[in-house]
A = this chain, B = another copy of it.
């Protein structure tokens, strides 16, 4: 008998029929002799409808009250799912974030899970009950309601799994796993049977938006093995787990892409300490997320700093940098380039294999795809290419590393 924590998102419980489907799925898992805890989001559309009402009453709605309002959505879906299960003869019981013992710290609308007291849940499980837990929510030590921000239900599921020492946590979603590349682009992309936490983190930060990084980080920290799988079928998904020696045999686990990137380059400033800090500081103040950062010195001893960001932020970035530019140097110039995309190869095998970058750049070169910026981490190589070439680039790199083929054990 395994203890399985399952997470169902808002679209999985978006209608009463879908709630019945989820109930049937839980019953199947149960009938196979397992214990189940299901963490669910609000019914699809409910959160948006509530936000719409809030916005109509108060364009600047207080975050404390947004949390009280939005957390009601999950409270409805857990009760409805528990009812649907009971209608099928399954002894099910709901638990709000508070009842599940999810204690949070931090700010309203973006609470962080601090501690979990799973005693109530353990009691229910001991009584043979299925427990349906409200995702996306918790309460502070003082009893104030927090929501957990984007991807909060995934985080709830991972945290509940950790607190119950579950055998596995299944994240049921609209994709059926993590692929070597986006299968809509690379048709022979292969679903990965497993991937390490670190690879998953690098994939997430480079465009493969299956899960928020913080959920993966939480799972890594507490050693929660989780599986990303489809809510529409019972196919095995991708197991995300601690790395083990056999994983290193694979050089590249996958290729991920991110579109709508833009580059800002500041040139002709003297290479003195503190310059990049000043630049990045003013971008941070403007709440612009900078992704890749590349700096070097040209032959005349002047520095050249380049950053990438989402295209939508380019205008704001230029505006934010303008006043600082004069402080840097009277000759300082800004160059910008939009319509870029980022291609990343990720794999813990890189640590023990050489020549990965060379192979990647050669493949792109042979295909006539020009590389802009390059950054590397221990297990990732990222490059920018023209956005119009990103799909070709993905296919070329996927092919070069033969990612469509199952690696030899």
Contact = CB atoms under 8 A, between A and B. Distances in A.
Interface string A140-156: 00011100000000000
A79 interface: yes
Given A68-B94, A93-B64, A57 B76 contact: no
A295 B72 CA distance: 53
A87 interface: yes
B50 A65 contact: no
A216 interface: no
Interface in A53-67: 53-54, 56-62, 64-66
B53 A80 contact: yes
Given A56-B16, A80-B54, A83-B58, A143 B98 contact: yes
B57 A16 contact: yes
A99 interface: yes
Interface string A372-394: 00000000000000000000000
Contacts of A58: 83-84, 86-87
B75 A62 contact: no
Interface of A is mostly: helix
* Most chain B CB atoms below 10 A, which of A80, A94, A99: A80
A288 B93 CA distance: 32
A75 B64 CA distance: 12
A117 to B, nearest CB: 11
A98 to B, nearest CB: 7
A67 to B, nearest CB: 8
Contacts of A66: 79
A50 to B, nearest CB: 7
A203 interface: no
Contact of A20 (B57, B62, B72, B93): B57
B76 A143 contact: no
Contacts of A93: 64-65
A22 to B, nearest CB: 11
A57 B145 CA distance: 28
A64 B56 CA distance: 33
A71 interface: yes
A232 interface: no
A50 B60 CA distance: 28
A75 B71 contact: yes
A53 to B, nearest CB: 6
B68 A78 contact: yes
Contact of A65 (B61, B62, B94, B120): B94
Given A68-B94, A68-B96, A53 B84 contact: no
Contacts of A348: none
A330 to B, nearest CB: 48
A54 B83 contact: yes
Given A57-B16, A57-B84, A69 B79 contact: yes
A38 to B, nearest CB: 14
Contacts of A61: 83, 86
A188 B114 CA distance: 65
A53 B19 CA distance: 11
Closest 7 CB pairs of A and B: A69-B79, A58-B87, A72-B72, A68-B79, A58-B83, A72-B75, A65-B79
Interface of A: 16, 19-20, 50, 53-54, 56-62, 64-66, 68-69, 71-73, 75-76, 78-80, 82-84, 86-87, 93-94, 96, 98-99, 120, 143-145
29 contacts: A16-B57, A53-B80, A54-B79, A54-B80, A57-B83, A57-B84, A58-B84, A58-B87, A61-B83, A62-B83, A62-B86, A64-B93, A65-B79, A65-B82, A65-B83, A65-B93, A66-B79, A68-B78, A68-B79, A68-B94, A69-B76, A69-B80, A71-B75, A72-B72, A72-B73, A72-B76, A98-B98, A99-B143, A99-B144
